[in-house]
Structure 1
Amino acid sequence: MASRAQAFRDWATAEQLTITGPIDQLKDKRIVVDAEDFLENILTSQATREPLLPALGGLPFALRKHLDTYLAKFQEVNITLTFVFNGLDLACRDRQTISRESKQAARSLDEAWSLYSQSRADEAVAEFGKSCTYRTYPILRWLQSYLQREGVRIQTAPYSAAAQVVSLDRENFGDAIAGSSSCLLFGASRVITAFDFESQSFSWVERSKCLAKLAMNEDQFIDFCLLSGLTILALPTELENVPNPIQGARELAGRAGSMGFAAYATLNKEFMELFKKARTAVKHSVIITGSGEVTLTKNDTAAGDMHDVIGQRLPDEIYYYLSRGVVGSRVLNWRTRGELFEIAPLDGGSSSAYQQLVTQKLAPLRTRTMALINPMLHRYYQKKDVDLIAWHNESSKQALGVPDASSPLQSANRWRVRNATLTKASDAKFDIKEEPLLFAVALLSDENTAQETVTEKIGDTATQELRSPDELISNTVLRFLEDRGYINNNHTLSAWGKALKSAFDQAEQNGYLAAAGRKEAEEAIFMAFELHKLDVLNTSQMFPSDKYLGAPMRGSETDRAYTLLLSRIACLGSFHHKEIGFTGPLSRHLLGYQQMTSAVRASLRDLLEVHALSMLGSGAVSRELSPSDYSTLGCNLPFVQDCDLGLSLVVKSFLDELSNDSSKRSDITRWFNHAYDVPGDLEKAWKMWDAINAGIQAADSAIVNNDTKTTFKNADEWLAQKLQQANPANTNGSA
């Protein structure tokens, strides 16, 4: 998908509207940044883009490097940054718009895979590069967490980040703003569009110069911004195929000066309705003030039906927690829309397995997630259901039954564990912030300590209120683990919890925790158990072989099956790749599975965030926390980073070659030109497998049947034999 931000920059440059000045002009200044525009610039700029991102999932390999470089450069000039993220979708961004964009991206990605299968590599890479801004919500959530950890100020707008950025500028919170044309749309007098630290310069566009160049008044300029597809509204279908849609929008907006809405008579009725909503949303933009009040910028002249224009309102308390990064916008959007719309995954979504996962298997988890926040919402929401609609069959609506769903609120409120009890797990040497899942399991491994965590609320005494960051994070995770069935009602480990502990213990013993890092390791192991619960951690052929190329292809049927299982588990770990765009073999087959793991990971993250939200709204937490305490909670919860496909590709390639005739085997390290340490990554993958297999074997047969245990046991023996063949000096490939 083409970047709106880049299209605006190209247009402004072509119209000679861009002004350039020395970066020193910004010395000691405060700049408010539209975070999504900032990310899109990295994803699409020629110097920083990684065109194969949609073929790999996860984060761009060089994203951290680019961020660190930018932050260091800003610090050199003593520029203070505040990044503002988009919040809830405005009503003008409807399902039809999202669906159209999704189908466009899916067609492009399908074409890219077709080109790749024909060995037309350069053309395939170019086609993949068109979709670098598709499905970037996980990257944005990671970016929010990363910036918070780096000490950068962050905020999430109630709705449009551009509107919030302009509001902060008007309140003198910043000296300048950086973003896209959306900032001009919401009334900014000027907006920084680019920083060039190599030339020590920056570029900006001024609203007054745009008006003069276009020969437009304020109303015409707003119309032009909306019609052009460069801001909050998608391009009308009538202008999609014209040679210059921006020029077409310019002509339409120019006529509107004397003809009003009649100038848009040629546009379809559906677009006109969205256009009117967008026009009103610009005039009455929603912002959050420094005191946490959510208000309209021109509240005194707003109509009574603004909810139809902007979207259904939520309680101010929820907007505040959204603004601090405790909760993301996904679940809140589902509630305000009354609709959960599943768009096509990066692989295209032709697999019935993925379709079944997101429409059936994950539906109960998502329903429970939404039900958990019902007590915090207006009665309107408590009685209103949510429909599930998927890209592959938009005519079918599935009511999720949210109003009737049971909420775990009563059992969740029994978690008010204070620091005095949390220190009982200090001998385990797990950091609550860095490895909260490991910490929680260690805490409850001792039954006496587990009993101390049952903390029923007695009266309204403030002594029971949670206050410290460690208390907030640990209690959120403990609520989450009980909800997912790893903890019994009496706060001891359940059968699932004991199996998870066995996997964690093996990861400690075989060195996986040290090799991968505790956060990555605990999440990979936990994800494996969740995938097993959903019956998708297996050797089944889930994807159409004629379209999803890149499945294991060497050796016997058994070889291919076990290679597939191990490659799927490798999707849960990270790949140590140089900070540069990927070059190497691709696999649509494995990407299809990686997208399944991504959907599960996102749903688990949603549940964690909503448990944090519910805890904050239940009276369990002190109201005297600082804003940074809330942001710390949000950025330290698990499952914020999606894993890419790199490690899975390495494992699949290696095992495939081991199943090949010994005289025909290739050295796969040559296939991954920018990998840091392929042998080291493979060793890490075997340790991950060993830990997960230990948990599967230790599980009670009531939760993991004997057939599954046998499959994993046989795969483990098969792997040991393969590694022994590859390296006779290695006597235990699983350790």
Structure 2
Amino acid sequence: MPVQHLDIYLNQKNLISVQPLSTLSGIRLGIDGNVWLKKVTQAASEQYLAGIGGIPSGLRKAIEKELDGFKAASIHPLFVFSGLALIRKEKPYVSGDAMISKRNTAWDAVNSGKMQLALSSWSTSYVIHQPDLIHLVIRILKEHNVDYIRAPYGAGAQLVYLECNPKQIIHAIYAGSELLMFDVDRVITSIDFGKQTFSVITKKNVLQDFMLSDDQFLDLCILAGGDHGQTFPPLASESAFIYKGILELQQHRTGFNFVKAYADAPQIFKQKPFAIVASYFQVVKSNYVDMFCRMRCAMKHHPILTDEGHVEPMNAQQAPTDIHEFIGYRLPDEVYYYLSRGLISDATLNILLCGYGAEFSPLCNGETKEYRSFLSGDIMKIKAQALALMKSQLHPFYDRKISILHWYDGTSGTVEHVVKADVTSVEAISNWKSGKQSVEKELKKAGIVIPNFSFTLGLVANPGEASSSVLAKGADKPAPLSTLAEVQTRHLSKLLQLRSFIEASHVPSSYGKAIIDASRAHPTVSGEYQDALFVALELVRVELLTSKPYSLSYTKKPVLEDETATKAIRLVSRAASLISARFRGVKSWAGPLNRDLLAFNSVNKVLTRNLRHLSESLILEMLLANECQKDALDFTPLATQQPFAFEPSTVLGILVKEYLETIALNSSGNSSAPNKEQALQQVEEHIGVTSLSSIAEGGVKPELQRGFAFWDVLFEAVKSLSASNVISKELTQEFQDANNWIKSLRI
């Protein structure tokens, strides 16, 4: 939570010193993961990312470059990521009118061929949401055996605790300048591996320059505002905020006296300029005094996770009894521990704690009726399942009203979409026990290490095996699961049942059978596409993965006059965009864009994200319900091997669309066999040298083959659904027509 104006002032006063990196050799460095990740995402920034969705293709390379830098400098990093948000009394502000307008400007510029204007508009309308990346970052850190934790709340307080700990868990801190709000001697604010230097701020020098005490400096930072709260209104328009703030603090002695003077003494504003009078009313209207006091207490008594596994406030002996008023309601220490290991994210927990969630406009702006209906319908049902799972194992206090606010309902927040916890779903999945089969033996037989959806469904494909996993009514609670494979299989089994891929009798439903049939028909490729196939079938079920255009189409005129071809290309390219194109991670995509595919990508993203949150809620419910032998388990694989971790971009869908349109145009009126290599060459020329060199080694051809391979898997699953009569004949025909059309054209 950067403090406004502070960095500018520190630079102006030369209070940031630069030192050789060699002086840090051999130390354990605690790193604010959010500050570091901001630096990494900037290094991996992609100009077209707001137009294609997904995550930066160079993210992994950028992270690994940083880790190599630490290793070469003999620095041992410990990354600390922020956890839960501090409670706020006001509703979330969900309007994105400014960003929506800039995105529309960007797409108008794309359609007019003014790419520089488009890139300029996108650069100010899209910020990567860090919480969506942390689970991926943790996977990469784990692969490189780098230590990490998630703090109960803010990372800053946790880092200060680790540095001050008598055990010297870390020796120094790398964070933003806002860490100076805590009781620290110094903070490293940047590291330049190229120049082999680092920048550091010494707090003693800052206090001497400001001529303020520790407490006054904290007050100044709160008044300056930032992510933690708004700037103190009377100073909000001051260009020299720091200077003005210092003078006011020296005069009033404390920040509380300063803000109280504005709130309680309106008579001082007689015959004052209008701007000052307006500031007074802003102070009163925003209840700034309360915000200031809550924020000050939150900084003084911020909760931290101790080395003994307990969560307690800093300066616990002086902490007030109503700490929940400025931090939030306390959760069991066990929940904070799972959060610290990355097993669960903060998303659903934050909604549970504050009573509100927010849906912001997606990259396509979410203008279609289909997207908004999906949000208020099926996505709400998934949220209801996730919240019910968490509530089932927590104090009855949390069984309270939960509402989701949508950006398109306006800024007033009067329209609330109430989430009614789906208790029946939780009860339905409570009758699982270990079946006859040994999970470990079956994994070995299948030749896989980690259970996946098709493997899990295969265990209950036989009705006799399925019945052996059903816990009889009134039977004693089964013994806790003692192996990781058993826990992962049970977790996937319950997830499949929650999403209606497994029946109450534990046999696969028609949708579960579709996954089995597709995997059996294409055993060599189905393993790679497990998550994508799950998501695809969810979208088939709600008829969002179809060949029909959505209510708002951004394509003014189809490339092909043949409607059958247009519909086939639309369906196949949508399907292909459910899997990620492979990138080298050096150069980024700068080729064609497609807003219609981006609208579909937004549907995919919101579904994938909510399925991931549901998966996390389920594993938390299992652990809190003591279904697992917790002291015998390593939780890290549970955190890094959960499904729905990746959110693909539209790139593979664009490649498939470009290829099919090109070869169809080349073949129009030509009776000879289509020239696939010529079409492939034309696609490569059209996407450009930069985009071609961004794609993984082998170029466009292997990526197109992956897209068509996934289509084969999905088509087999749809045939299975059709045979079970669970999808409409019309939808079945759409897939059949598309498959027939691409048969002779695919590469």
Q: For residues 608 and 175 of structure 1, do their structure 2 counterparts lie closer, same or farther at Cα, with a shift above 3 Å needed?
A: same
Q: Which residue of 1 aligns with 2:570?
A: 564
Q: Which residue of 2 aligns with 1:257?
A: 253
Does the Cα contact within 8 Å between 1:105 and 1:134 map onto a contact in 2? no
Q: For residues 110 and 257 of structure 1, do their structure 2 counterparts lie closer, same or farther at Cα, with a shift above 3 Å needed?
A: farther
Q: Which residue of 2 aligns with 1:709?
A: 732
- The 1-side partners of 2:434 and 2:185 are apart by 49
Alpha-carbon offset, residue 409 of structure 1? 4.1
Alpha-carbon offset, residue 105 of structure 1? 3.8
Match 1:574 to one of 566, 570, 580: 580
Over the aligned positions, Cα root-mean-square deviation in angstroms equals 3.0
Q: Which residue of 2 aligns with 1:109?
A: 103
Q: For residues 376 and 537 of structure 1, do their structure 2 counterparts lie closer, same or farther at Cα, with a shift above 3 Å needed?
A: same
Does the Cα contact within 8 Å between 2:17 and 2:200 map onto a contact in 1? yes
Q: Which residue of 1 aligns with 2:65?
A: 69
Matched, 1:209 2:208: no
1:594-626 deviations in Å (ceiling 9; x for gaps): 111011011111111111111111121123146
Q: For residues 636 and 21 of structure 1, do their structure 2 counterparts lie closer, same or farther at Cα, with a shift above 3 Å needed?
A: same
- The 1-side partners of 2:135 and 2:499 are apart by 22
For the residue of structure 1 that corresponds to 2:522, the secondary structure is: helix
Moved more, 404-413 or 66-75: 404-413
Match 1:36 to one of 27, 34, 37: 34
Q: Which residue of 2 aligns with 1:396?
A: 415
Alignment of 1:571-650 (within 5 A): 571-579=577-585, 580-625=587-632, 629-650=634-655
Alpha-carbon offset, residue 713 of structure 1? 0.4
Q: Which residue of 2 aligns with 1:726?
A: none
Q: Which residue of 2 aligns with 1:126?
A: 120
Matched, 1:99 2:94: yes
What code does the residue aligned with 2:521 have?
Answer: Q
Q: For residues 124 and 253 of structure 1, do their structure 2 counterparts lie closer, same or farther at Cα, with a shift above 3 Å needed?
A: farther
Does the Cα contact within 8 Å between 1:466 and 1:622 map onto a contact in 2? yes
- The 1-side partners of 2:58 and 2:440 are apart by 37
Q: For residues 447 and 705 of structure 1, do their structure 2 counterparts lie closer, same or farther at Cα, with a shift above 3 Å needed?
A: same
- The 1-side partners of 2:611 and 2:242 are apart by 41
For the residue of structure 2 that corresponds to 1:486, the secondary structure is: coil
For the residue of structure 2 that corresponds to 1:445, the secondary structure is: coil
Does the Cα contact within 8 Å between 1:195 and 1:201 map onto a contact in 2? yes
Alpha-carbon offset, residue 714 of structure 1? 0.5
Alpha-carbon offset, residue 318 of structure 1? 1.3
Q: For residues 612 and 418 of structure 1, do their structure 2 counterparts lie closer, same or farther at Cα, with a shift above 3 Å needed?
A: farther
- The 1-side partners of 2:314 and 2:375 are apart by 38
- The 1-side partners of 2:556 and 2:710 are apart by 23
For the residue of structure 1 that corresponds to 2:94, the secondary structure is: helix
Q: For residues 491 and 361 of structure 1, do their structure 2 counterparts lie closer, same or farther at Cα, with a shift above 3 Å needed?
A: closer
Matched, 1:653 2:669: no
Q: Which residue of 2 aligns with 1:17?
A: 15
Matched, 1:283 2:300: yes
- The 2-side partners of 1:245 and 1:690 are apart by 62
Q: For residues 336 and 550 of structure 1, do their structure 2 counterparts lie closer, same or farther at Cα, with a shift above 3 Å needed?
A: farther
- The 1-side partners of 2:324 and 2:69 are apart by 42
What code does the residue aligned with 1:684 have?
Answer: R
Alpha-carbon offset, residue 350 of structure 1? 2.3
Q: Which residue of 2 aligns with 1:156?
A: 150
Q: Which residue of 2 aligns with 1:420?
A: 438
Please list every run of 5 or more consecutive structure 1 residues that lacks an aligned counterpart in the other structure.
724-732
Alpha-carbon offset, residue 388 of structure 1? 2.0
Alpha-carbon offset, residue 206 of structure 1? 2.2
Alignment of 1:219-230 (within 5 A): 219-230=215-226
- The 2-side partners of 1:187 and 1:552 are apart by 63
Does the Cα contact within 8 Å between 1:86 and 1:158 map onto a contact in 2? yes
The number of residues matched between the two structures is: 701
Alpha-carbon offset, residue 126 of structure 1? 3.0
Match 1:179 to one of 175, 179, 187: 175
For the residue of structure 2 that corresponds to 1:341, the secondary structure is: strand
Alpha-carbon offset, residue 522 of structure 1? 0.9
Match 1:497 to one of 512, 515, 527: 512
1:479-521 deviations in Å (ceiling 9; x for gaps): 111221222333322221111111222332xx534xxxx34x1
Does the Cα contact within 8 Å between 1:343 and 1:391 map onto a contact in 2? yes
Does the Cα contact within 8 Å between 1:190 and 1:207 map onto a contact in 2? yes
Does the Cα contact within 8 Å between 2:94 and 2:359 map onto a contact in 1? no
For the residue of structure 2 that corresponds to 1:373, the secondary structure is: helix
Does the Cα contact within 8 Å between 2:389 and 2:617 map onto a contact in 1? yes
Does the Cα contact within 8 Å between 1:7 and 1:230 map onto a contact in 2? no
Does the Cα contact within 8 Å between 2:436 and 2:468 map onto a contact in 1? no
Q: For residues 200 and 492 of structure 1, do their structure 2 counterparts lie closer, same or farther at Cα, with a shift above 3 Å needed?
A: same
For the residue of structure 2 that corresponds to 1:503, the secondary structure is: helix
Does the Cα contact within 8 Å between 2:53 and 2:650 map onto a contact in 1? yes
Match 1:324 to one of 341, 345, 352: 341
For the residue of structure 2 that corresponds to 1:594, the secondary structure is: helix
Alpha-carbon offset, residue 431 of structure 1? 2.1
Give me the TM-score of the superposition, normalised by structure 2.
0.87
What code does the residue aligned with 1:361 have?
Answer: D
Alpha-carbon offset, residue 654 of structure 1? 2.0
Match 1:443 to one of 453, 459, 484: 459
Does the Cα contact within 8 Å between 2:3 and 2:225 map onto a contact in 1? no
Alpha-carbon offset, residue 33 of structure 1? 1.3
- The 2-side partners of 1:86 and 1:512 are apart by 37
> Which has more radius of gyration?
2
For the residue of structure 2 that corresponds to 1:555, the secondary structure is: coil
- The 1-side partners of 2:216 and 2:398 are apart by 38
Q: Which residue of 1 aligns with 2:45?
A: 49
Q: Which residue of 2 aligns with 1:385?
A: 401
Q: For residues 623 and 425 of structure 1, do their structure 2 counterparts lie closer, same or farther at Cα, with a shift above 3 Å needed?
A: closer
Moved more, 237-246 or 363-372: 237-246
Alpha-carbon offset, residue 29 of structure 1? 1.0
Does the Cα contact within 8 Å between 1:43 and 1:132 map onto a contact in 2? no
Does the Cα contact within 8 Å between 1:431 and 1:439 map onto a contact in 2? no
Does the Cα contact within 8 Å between 2:44 and 2:56 map onto a contact in 1? no
Matched, 1:408 2:426: yes
Q: For residues 493 and 48 of structure 1, do their structure 2 counterparts lie closer, same or farther at Cα, with a shift above 3 Å needed?
A: closer
Matched, 1:358 2:385: no
Alignment of 1:664-703 (within 5 A): 667-670=682-685, 671=687, 672-673=691-692, 674-676=694-696, 677-699=699-721, 700-703=723-726
Alpha-carbon offset, residue 458 of structure 1? 6.4
Q: Which residue of 1 aligns with 2:543?
A: 535
Q: For residues 364 and 319 of structure 1, do their structure 2 counterparts lie closer, same or farther at Cα, with a shift above 3 Å needed?
A: same
Alpha-carbon offset, residue 678 of structure 1? 0.8
- The 2-side partners of 1:178 and 1:135 are apart by 21
Q: For residues 90 and 62 of structure 1, do their structure 2 counterparts lie closer, same or farther at Cα, with a shift above 3 Å needed?
A: same
1:631-655 deviations in Å (ceiling 9; x for gaps): 2211111111211221122122222
Match 2:324 to one of 307, 312, 320: 307
Alpha-carbon offset, residue 30 of structure 1? 0.8
Q: Which residue of 2 aligns with 1:729?
A: none
For the residue of structure 1 that corresponds to 2:665, the secondary structure is: coil
Please list every run of 5 or more consecutive structure 2 residues that lacks an aligned counterpart in the other structure.
264-278, 669-677
